[in-house]
Structure 1
């Protein structure tokens, strides 16, 4: 099953063998044996490419689930005797500010060297789906105040307001504060339409009866700031993330959009590695949806 998944993800028997650290002939032999056992070919092979057959496409999700279950079973046994191992797949948006994730992952690796850590960056809505599907165990999101993660356990980490980022020589750079009406005439750099990070700003402008020109849509906060630094547009970014920005000037927005940062995990329960990681971040072990800022509202 591991070999099939590797070939499907790399579209190559050679690269799959390198990933699995076996010789290609051994990998090909094992897949051929599996195909004979199943009575169907899983891959179409030509001199130029390898691709899944319909039977292979049907087999792949079950293979992934089976391997995940096997890894989780082994991790649960290890946890029962006091050892945390297995995998920890973490997802995050680029502008996470409520948690120093690199430091947290460093501390986790030092404490639990038997856990294989992987990291994926994506949009909030994509990360929610990946947690629900079991592709990642823990994810860090940013959502508008009008939305909550659905179908997963979630805990609020922080609430934040956006600030305007402009080039140092932009006419607004000397201002202490601006409002949305003043920003509405600017060209914007923002995330793609309908993503959670974009929606919070779109909603704020719409609520104020304003429209704006988003000329540049990018998926990277780093690229956003690079475009802003070249005076190609302005951007709205979380104030807690602003100290990480270089080459731009940030300005308070009096009627700024707001966002909520969450950490989420599966409703099917935590793996031992996920539980250990969230405990390191002082997230309670109970699988409950909580908001530590609720009492402050």
Structure 2
């Protein structure tokens, strides 16, 4: 059983086509088919059902696929570790972030990282804070930037606090509140809101503040993306509460201080287990030394 054979099986499973798999693997289809046939003979089971219309995994193929992926991941990790041992960082780095991260200039950090480690391939995943914590725990994301209410803290991951910030009200330039220097939660509670989805960490910051003040509000629009949320506010569809450091980069909206505003904490988190050389190098770019472990 060879790693190349496993790569071919994974490629066919992901493309549902021997032709497309061969194109992805940069080999002729006959060579790919021959190697998979050899592997099937060695295993004593067919991995794919082949018809003129489609290709799909057999039960044996479905059982083989996860283990094949694990073997390929282990082989890649071994090559990366050997490279790191001789002073070369390469491989892959998966970074997660919330759209409103403001404590770190992510593009600049990635630029600095790229200049030092040009052989690392980077993937970015944008999502909600709670989801990013779970993805880091599962190893799908290695380093993530997120924001949580002051009452919460990431658990089961390596963590470092980056900054604290207060929320501000954001309204359209022609909104009746636009000329006010400051407002309180009671005044805002009479407005229609645009906010992040219910039960997300970004939404919880505002929900907890209004609840603690004994107030309710009307969230007429729920948006998963903070940038698009601000665009909706700019069109007069409602008001919003966003971190002041993030709002500073927005245009087309007016910012108002909220006297009794809630706060949020931005964190960087990382995998609690052994880190890849690329993840360790990226944390060093952020000036986070190796002594910070899982908490």
Q: So what's the TM-score if we normalise by structure 2?
A: 0.88
Runs (5+) with no aligned partner, structure 1: 291-297
CA RMSD of aligned residues (A): 2.4
Among 80, 83, 94, which residue is 1:78 paired with? 83
Among 277, 281, 288, which residue is 1:276 paired with? 281
CA distance in 1, matches of 2:209, 2:291: 35
Per the TM alignment, residue 63 of structure 1 is displaced from its structure 2 partner at its CA by 3.5
Q: So what's the TM-score if we normalise by structure 1?
A: 0.87
Partners of 1:143 and 1:259 within 8 A in 2 = yes
What does residue 293 of structure 2 align with?
A: 288
What does residue 65 of structure 1 align with?
A: 70
Per the TM alignment, residue 166 of structure 1 is displaced from its structure 2 partner at its CA by 0.7
CA distance in 1, matches of 2:216, 2:56: 46
Per the TM alignment, residue 254 of structure 1 is displaced from its structure 2 partner at its CA by 1.3
Please list, as runs of the form range in 1=range in 2, the aligned pairs for 1:1-297 lying within 5 A after superposition: 1-9=6-14, 16-23=21-28, 26-27=31-32, 29-31=34-36, 33-40=38-45, 42=47, 55-288=60-293
Partners of 2:195 and 2:222 within 8 A in 1 = yes
Q: SS of the counterpart of 2:162?
A: strand
Runs (5+) with no aligned partner, structure 2: 1-5
What does residue 295 of structure 1 align with?
A: none
Q: SS of the counterpart of 1:77?
A: helix
Deviating more after overlay: 139-148 vs 21-30 = 21-30
What does residue 3 of structure 2 align with?
A: none
CA distance in 2, matches of 1:202, 1:50: 49
CA distance in 2, matches of 1:2, 1:233: 51
Partners of 1:267 and 1:287 within 8 A in 2 = no
Q: SS of the counterpart of 1:193?
A: coil
CA distance in 2, matches of 1:53, 1:254: 62
In the alignment of these two chains, the number of paired residues is 290
User: Cα deviations across residues 259-283 of structure 1 (Å, max 9, x unaligned)?
Assistant: 1111111111221111111111101
